[in-house]
């Protein structure tokens, strides 16, 4: 199948997935008892006002009509107003997504940069004490629950040692003296391109603990996978032949072995993005990081349906896109895949 | 490479030490669990009034209990009422400017009240008795009512009474929600990151001036988690926090750098009895239960002592509260006698109690009630449900609803009518706030009379309010649990904070300074 057709098929799949998700979230979320109109009005709202809001929000109509209207607006690029912030959901999301993505992408980068070499070393040193240590470390990294890990990091590096900040993405005082201008929404990029180095280093400093909490599991996962995948490849006949012809071990592992071992690792990286998106929910709440996870938490606790739908679409889209990108890269790396 | 490393280390060090000491005295961080729903002063009716009250002003402000005068004059300098209580004339302050430079005149009052009532959202209901606003001259405005109402209290309300610049024109809530403001208050909204943080900055042209000690910039850091607020306070990052876990309060009080400021508040906690369903449809049973509630234990366990037993619906300090209102004391013997009278000598019935799961105090109140009622042979099934769902269920058919409903309540303005009307008037077949589903036409008439009388004859109004409250207390549709004290965890360096119960949970930053 040509690559373009493959990508097109994936996009068709994405649209179908989003449709199914939209039905599920729309109808399930409305099955929760809660008076959305009353929440929208806020405070000690009076009955007449609640009734008025119900009509304004279209909640007086049957559910399937509400859904029809919602989808109609969605195709025009309108996700409605958040009941909580009274701002367009799309605007809220466009501010929150980059903040989560900077954590997720950085964590992914660290996981790849550390996970593959650590796994490679374990494979090369198979059976030695180093392999054992790595095995223990990666097992712990994979099995620690993320919220526990995040709290543990906070306890050790903020409460006990005081090396890293407790929360947020910028020192409060820097918000007065060196505020970050909003350009892309990625705070470390925005601060860098505006020459705001004070804020840039401060942001990096604030990212250390949340990224560490996010990346530890994926490091373990990628390392374990790299190790087993590499060992499997290294037992293949063609490696044996290459070794017999006197090619050095280093070249063998990294040029012939790793390249062929990469395919399953790349598959996992796509899944990893989805996992990281999910884990960032916990991390953002613990570190008060104002990304999409924090936004979703507020949306859930205040029954902010339009925002919740927006979050669902976003996560669904990111998930599919990450998987598609992975498959494309896999095809490029390994021509056998069709 | 070495040069680069050196450079990097230098920049890193500079970044960490960048904050000048002087910035700390004029700036402060407030770690707040109170989010912004809307920045539109006509629409606002939620926790954002904390911030809007610092950016916008009203004609009058109600002073904290114990003050010499009931009102402070803010944008008005005086007012008078006609004998029939239908026309109020306000003299306005001269030399006031809005943040956009527009001068404040009577036109602004007309514009603001009309905008708020036309949009008709949020706390617009406070202007329900309004007929029209007349501009007499630049600094005199007449507010004419359809029926008598305590207009000064309405003009001083915590929500819905803000005066904004007429330059807003026909801009809608979207304009405000992008982070704009149009007030005349001491602070203007300098930056707004929705759901993250916002900065209130000093308005140089404020009519009150900036002589003396003030805080110039406030960074409000929206922090949902109580534990994070606590840590921000402990580490001196935040000078003020909104709501830390109850059990951490003693720790904050004992620490060298922090304390908890206590003050009066009009927030109270109450328990509605479902008056439509046996056995609670019987007055004697409800009275018995009101005597079986361990008020002192609730104060100790659910509020760490920062509360007092309520005396009827109107909290202490508010107009309408007196010691003449009947109070039910904890007395199990009396409760048993009353139950026996009602034909339940050994209890023997089951009740369901619902409460907001996110409110820790609610949870503890529920357990205490459960264990006391058990002593009377009454089994209480406690259902802990998120507030929104709990409330939605209670608004359904009363016959299918819970037996006991716990509620935390606070009024929008200082007149008792709002509480007495909203919580207890006959809502017919569509319950919203009267979750005792209580019906008493005589009561409804009496509080309406008192309300209309307040502006003209406050003594007579007070008398009627006491009668009405005692009427309710004899029926016992609600057990009024406690009047909660306001508690503000803060750094000891923060001074000047005056807790004003008329503006529940509003920190007026202009009064504050750092030592």
Q: What integer pLDDT is reported at residue B1 of this predicted model? A: 47
Among partner residues B45, B193, B222, which is closest to A41 by beta-carbon distance? B45
B514 strand-pairing partners:
B494
Q: What totals of helices (H) and strands (E) does chain B contain, helices first? A: 16, 21
> B231 touching A, CB under 8 A?
yes
Among partner residues A39, A179, A298, which is closest to B388 by beta-carbon distance? A39
Element (H, E) at B469: helix B458-475
- pLDDT tens digits, residue range A279-317? 998 999 889 898 999 999 888 877 888 898 899 888 888
Interface of B with A in 29-48 (CB under 8 A): 29, 35-38, 40, 43-46
Give the residue among B352, B435, B437 at the shortest CA–CA distance from B391. B435
- Give every residue of chain B whose pLDDT is below 50, as ranges: 1, 10-11, 14-21
Tokens for A283, please give them.
């991390």
Give the residue among A194, A221, A227, A206 at the shortest CA–CA distance from A106. A206
Contact B224 A285 (CB under 8 A): yes
Q: Which residue has the tokens 């209480």?
A: B380
Contact B191 A179 (CB under 8 A): yes
For residues A149 and A147, give the distance between their C-alpha atoms in angstroms, rounded to a whole number. Answer: 5
Give first-to-last CA distance, chain A, whole Å: 6
- Tell me which chain B residues have a C-beta less than 8 angstroms from the C-beta of A47: 427, 430, 432
- Tell me which chain B residues have a C-beta less than 8 angstroms from the C-beta of A285: 224-225
- Give this complex's ipTM: 0.81
Q: What totals of helices (H) and strands (E) does chain A contain, helices first? A: 15, 0
DSSP state of B13: H
Contact A288 B124 (CB under 8 A): no
Interface test mutation site (partner A, options B36, B175, B392, max chain A beta carbons within 10 A): B392
Among partner residues A176, A201, A301, which is closest to B11 by beta-carbon distance? A201
Among partner residues A38, A53, A84, which is closest to B37 by beta-carbon distance? A84
> B95 touching A, CB under 8 A?
no
For residues A60 and A51, give the distance between their C-alpha atoms in angstroms, rounded to a whole number. Answer: 9
Contact (Cβ atoms closer than 8 angstroms) between residue A253 and residue B193? no
Contact B37 A86 (CB under 8 A): yes
Q: What integer pLDDT is reported at residue A206 of this predicted model? A: 94
DSSP codes, B404-435: EEEEEE--SSSSTHHHHHHHHS--TT--SS-T
Angle value at C-alpha A130, between A129 and A134, nearest 5 degrees: 115
- Tell me which chain B residues have a C-beta less than 8 angstroms from the C-beta of A166: 228, 231-232, 235, 237
As a residue count, chain A comes to: 338
DSSP codes, A131-147: HHHHHHHHHHHHHS-HH
Element (H, E) at B24: helix B21-26
Give first-to-last CA distance, chain B, whole Å: 46
Give the residue among B423, B420, B411 at the shortest CA–CA distance from B451. B420
Q: How many CA atoms lie within 13 A of A309 on its CB side?
A: 27
Tokens for B360, please give them.
């820790």
Q: What integer pLDDT is reported at residue A265 of this predicted model? A: 82
Angle value at C-alpha B120, between B115 and B121, nearest 5 degrees: 110
For residues B260 and B253, give the distance between their C-alpha atoms in angstroms, rounded to a whole number. Answer: 6
Tokens for A169, please give them.
């993405």
Among partner residues A38, A85, A168, which is closest to B194 by beta-carbon distance? A85
Q: What integer pLDDT is reported at residue B17 of this predicted model? A: 47
For residues A91 and A85, give the distance between their C-alpha atoms in angstroms, rounded to a whole number. Answer: 11
Interface test mutation site (partner A, options B9, B44, B228, max chain A beta carbons within 10 A): B228
> A300 touching B, CB under 8 A?
no
For residues A276 and A115, give the distance between their C-alpha atoms in angstroms, rounded to a whole number. Answer: 15
Q: What integer pLDDT is reported at residue A300 of this predicted model? A: 83
B377: alpha, beta or left, given left = phi > 0 and alpha = psi -120 to 50? left
> B12 touching A, CB under 8 A?
yes
Measure Cα distances from B326 to A233, B69, B447 in Å.
85, 28, 17
Kindly report the backbone phi and psi dihedral angles of residue B219, in degrees, each rounded to the nearest multiple of 5, phi listed first. -95, 115
Interface of A with B in 6-65 (CB under 8 A): 32-35, 38-39, 41-50, 52-53
> B236 touching A, CB under 8 A?
no
Give the residue among B32, B176, B220 at the shortest CA–CA distance from A87. B176
Min Cα–Cα distance to chain B from A301, Å: 8
Min Cα–Cα distance to chain B from A40, Å: 9
Interface test mutation site (partner B, options A44, A168, A208, max chain B beta carbons within 10 A): A44
A235: alpha, beta or left, given left = phi > 0 and alpha = psi -120 to 50? alpha
What is the pTM for the complete model shown? 0.85
Min Cα–Cα distance to chain A from B19, Å: 7
Interface test mutation site (partner A, options B194, B391, B412, B433, max chain A beta carbons within 10 A): B194
Give me the helices (H) in B270-397, please.
283-291, 295-303, 332-341, 360-374, 387-394
> B117 touching A, CB under 8 A?
no
- Tell me which chain A residues have a C-beta less than 8 angstroms from the C-beta of B13: none
Kindly identify which residue of chain A lies nearest to residue B177, measuring between CA atoms. Answer: A87
For residues B508 and B56, give the distance between their C-alpha atoms in angstroms, rounded to a whole number. Answer: 11
DSSP codes, B181-192: ----SSEEEEEE
Give the residue among A168, A156, A153, A267 at the shortest CA–CA distance from A214. A153
Among partner residues A39, A166, A174, which is closest to B232 by beta-carbon distance? A166
Give the residue among B84, B82, B83, B94 at the shortest CA–CA distance from B142. B82
Min Cα–Cα distance to chain A from B174, Å: 7
> B97 touching A, CB under 8 A?
no
Residues in contact with A281: Cβ distance below 8 Å, sequence separation at least 6, in sequence order:
A293, A296, A297
Q: What integer pLDDT is reported at residue A109 of this predicted model? A: 94
Min Cα–Cα distance to chain B from A175, Å: 8
Interface test mutation site (partner B, options A30, A40, A51, A167, max chain B beta carbons within 10 A): A167
DSSP codes, B103-142: BP-HHHHHHHHHHHHHH--GGGGGGTTEEEEEEEETTEEE
Give the residue among A187, A158, A216 at the shortest CA–CA distance from A290. A187
Residues in contact with A42: Cβ distance below 8 Å, sequence separation at least 6, in sequence order:
B37, B38, B44, B45, B46, B122
Q: How many CA atoms lie within 13 A of A151 on its CB side?
A: 9
Query: Tens-digit pLDDT profile for chain A (338 aa)?
Result: 677 888 888 888 888 888 898 888 888 877 777 777 877 776 667 777 788 888 888 888 888 888 888 888 888 888 888 888 889 999 999 999 999 999 999 999 999 999 999 998 898 888 899 999 999 999 988 888 898 999 999 999 998 998 999 888 888 888 888 888 888 889 888 998 998 999 999 999 999 999 999 999 999 999 999 998 888 888 888 888 888 888 877 777 777 787 778 878 877 887 788 889 889 989 998 898 989 999 998 888 778 888 988 998 888 888 888 888 888 877 777 777 65
Between chain A and chain B, the number of residue pairs with CB atoms below 8 A apart is 161
Verify cis geometry, omega within 30 degrees of 0, for the bond prior to B279.
yes
Interface of B with A in 308-347 (CB under 8 A): none
Kindly report the backbone phi and psi dihedral angles of residue B356, in degrees, each rounded to the nearest multiple of 5, phi listed first. -75, 120
> B417 touching A, CB under 8 A?
no
- pLDDT tens digits, residue range B206-217? 999 999 999 999
For residues B70 and B68, give the distance between their C-alpha atoms in angstroms, rounded to a whole number. Answer: 7
Q: What integer pLDDT is reported at residue B55 of this predicted model? A: 97
> A302 touching B, CB under 8 A?
yes
Contact B392 A179 (CB under 8 A): no
Give the residue among A170, A173, A254 at the shortest CA–CA distance from B22. A173
For residues A84 and A93, give the distance between their C-alpha atoms in angstroms, rounded to a whole number. Answer: 13
Contact (Cβ atoms closer than 8 angstroms) between residue B375 and residue B312? no
Q: Which residue has the tokens 């209290």?
A: B153
Interface of A with B in 198-237 (CB under 8 A): 198-202, 205
Contact B392 A42 (CB under 8 A): no
Contact B432 A39 (CB under 8 A): no
Contact A41 B121 (CB under 8 A): yes
Give me the helices (H) in A76-127, please.
89-124
Contact A285 B225 (CB under 8 A): yes
Min Cα–Cα distance to chain A from B258, Å: 17
Residues in contact with B469: Cβ distance below 8 Å, sequence separation at least 6, in sequence order:
B312, B313, B314, B320, B325, B326, B420
3-class state of residue A338 by DSSP: coil
Measure Cα distances from A3 to A10, A239, A298, A331, B421 in Å.
11, 30, 40, 9, 69
- Tell me which chain A residues have a C-beta less than 8 angstroms from the C-beta of B391: 34-35, 38
Give the residue among B277, B275, B276, B284 at the shortest CA–CA distance from B340. B284
> B4 touching A, CB under 8 A?
no
Query: Alpha-carbon dihedral of residues A286, A289, A290, A295, nearest 10 degrees?
Result: -30
Q: What is the CA radius of gyration of chain B?
A: 25
Min Cα–Cα distance to chain B from A220, Å: 29
For residues A68 and B164, give the distance between their C-alpha atoms in angstroms, rounded to a whole number. Answer: 39
Min Cα–Cα distance to chain A from B281, Å: 25
For residues A8 and A317, give the distance between their C-alpha atoms in angstroms, rounded to a whole number. Answer: 15
């Amino acid at each position: 199948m040509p690559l373009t057709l493959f990508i097109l098929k994936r996009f068709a799949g994405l649209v179908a997935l989003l449709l199914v998700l939209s039905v599920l979230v729309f109808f399930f979320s409305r099955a929760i008892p809660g008076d959305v109109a009353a929440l929208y009005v806020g405070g000690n709202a009076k009955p007449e006002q609640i009734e008025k809001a119900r009509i304004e929000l279209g909640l007086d109509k049957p559910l399937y009509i509400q859904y029809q209207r919602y989808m109609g607006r969605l195709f025009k690029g309108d996700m409605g107003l958040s009941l909580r912030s009274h701002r367009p959901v799309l605007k809220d999301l466009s501010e929150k997504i980059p903040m989560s993505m900077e954590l997720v992408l950085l964590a992914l980068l660290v996981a790849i940069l550390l996970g593959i070499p650590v796994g490679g070393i374990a494979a090369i040193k198979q059976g030695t004490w180093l392999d054992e240590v790595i095995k223990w470390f990666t097992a712990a990294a994979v099995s620690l629950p993320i919220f526990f890990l995040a709290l543990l990091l906070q306890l050790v590096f903020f409460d006990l040692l005081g090396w890293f900040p407790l929360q947020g993405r910028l020192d409060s005082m820097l918000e007065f003296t060196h505020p970050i201008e909003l350009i892309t929404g990625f705070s470390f990029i925005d601060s860098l391109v505006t020459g705001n180095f004070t804020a840039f280093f401060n942001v990096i400093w604030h990212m250390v603990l949340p990224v560490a909490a996010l990346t530890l599991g994926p490091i373990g996962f990628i390392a374990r996978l790299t190790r087993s995948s590499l060992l499997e490849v290294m037992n293949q006949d063609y490696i044996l032949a290459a070794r017999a012809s006197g090619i050095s071990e280093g070249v063998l592992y990294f040029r012939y072995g790793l390249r062929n071992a990469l395919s399953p690792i790349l598959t996992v990286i796509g899944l990893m993005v989805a996992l990281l998106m999910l884990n960032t929910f916990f991390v953002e709440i613990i570190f008060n990081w104002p990304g999409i996870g924090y936004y979703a938490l507020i949306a859930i606790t205040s029954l902010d349906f339009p925002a919740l739908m927006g979050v669902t679409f976003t996560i669904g889209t990111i998930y599919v896109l990450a998987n598609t990108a992975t498959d494309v890269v896999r095809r490029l790396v390994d021509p056998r895949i069709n | 490479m070495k040069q680069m490393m050196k450079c990097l280390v230098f920049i890193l060090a500079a970044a960490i030490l960048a904050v000048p000491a002087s910035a700390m005295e004029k700036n402060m961080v407030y770690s707040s669990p109170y989010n912004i729903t809307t920045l539109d002063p006509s629409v606002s009716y939620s926790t954002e009034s904390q911030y809007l009250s610092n950016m916008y002003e009203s004609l009058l402000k109600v002073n904290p209990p114990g003050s010499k005068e009931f009102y402070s004059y803010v944008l008005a300098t005086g007012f008078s009422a006609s004998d029939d209580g239908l026309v109020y004339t306000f003299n306005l302050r001269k030399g006031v400017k809005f943040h956009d430079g527009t001068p404040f005149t009577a036109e602004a009052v007309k514009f603001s009240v009309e905008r708020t009532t036309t949009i008709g959202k949020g706390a617009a209901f406070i202007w329900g008795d309004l007929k029209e606003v007349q501009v007499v001259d630049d600094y005199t405005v007449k507010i004419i009512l359809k029926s008598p109402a305590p207009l000064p209290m309405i003009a001083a309300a915590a929500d819905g009474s803000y005066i904004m610049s007429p330059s807003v024109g026909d801009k809608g809530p979207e304009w405000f929600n992008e982070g704009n403001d149009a007030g005349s208050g001491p602070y203007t909204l300098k930056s707004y990151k929705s759901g993250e943080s916002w900065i209130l900055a000093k308005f140089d042209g404020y009519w009150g001036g900036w002589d003396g000690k003030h805080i110039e910039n406030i960074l409000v850091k929206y922090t949902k988690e109580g534990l994070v607020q606590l840590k921000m306070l402990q580490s001196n990052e935040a000078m003020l926090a909104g709501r830390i876990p109850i059990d951490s309060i003693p720790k904050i009080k004992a620490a060298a750098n922090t304390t908890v400021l206590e003050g009066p508040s009009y927030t109270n906690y109450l328990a509605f009895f479902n008056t439509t369903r046996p056995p609670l449809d019987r007055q004697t049973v409800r009275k018995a239960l009101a005597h079986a509630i361990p008020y002192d234990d609730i104060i100790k366990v659910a509020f760490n002592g920062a509360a007092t037993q309520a005396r009827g619906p109107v909290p202490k300090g508010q107009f309408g509260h007196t010691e003449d209102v009947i109070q039910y004391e904890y007395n199990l013997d009396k409760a048993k006698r009353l139950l026996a009278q009602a034909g339940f000598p050994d209890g023997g019935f089951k009740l369901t109690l619902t409460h907001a799961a996110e409110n820790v105090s609610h949870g503890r109140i529920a357990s205490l009630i459960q264990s006391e009622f058990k002593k009377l042979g009454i089994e209480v099934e406690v259902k802990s449900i998120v507030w929104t769902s709990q409330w939605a269920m209670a608004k359904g058919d009363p016959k299918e609803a819970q037996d006991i409903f716990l509620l935390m309540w606070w009024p929008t303005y200082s007149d008792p009518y709002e509480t007495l009307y909203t919580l207890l008037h006959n809502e017919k077949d569509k319950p919203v706030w009267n979750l005792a589903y209580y019906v008493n036409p005589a009561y409804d008439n009496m509080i309406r009379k008192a309300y209309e009388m307040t502006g003209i004859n406050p003594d007579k109004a007070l008398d009627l309010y006491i009668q009405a409250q005692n009427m309710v207390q004899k029926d016992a549709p609600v057990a009024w649990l406690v009047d909660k004290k306001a508690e503000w965890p803060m750094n000891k360096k923060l001074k000047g904070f005056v807790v004003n119960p008329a503006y529940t949970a509003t920190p007026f930053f202009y009064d504050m300074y750092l030592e």
